[in-house]
Amino acid sequence: LFTHAGLSAETAIIAFDLEGVAVSSGSACSSGKVQPSQVLSAMGVEPALARGAIRVSSGPATTEANIDHCLIAWIKLQESLLKGRAIIAA
């Protein structure tokens, strides 16, 4: 899970997509919902962070190169849109 206060999930999804990385802003069962994740809310995550949360999934076919590519995309997003702010990754 990646998130950042002030970042909209939609903006992050577009940025990741432009880098060729598929991510989601919620679980499959919450598809189409606009409000922050109930799970993140239950965990005490502030709404400002929950609204920008991006879920990254992996599976048996995920390689180290895939993970590196995702992290590089996150760094590019952080550098271009979030200059001077701290990153939160869980």
- 1, 2, 21, 29: the catalytic one is 29
Active site residue 29: yes
Output the six-digit token pair for 30.
Answer: 């919450």
Catalytic residues: 29
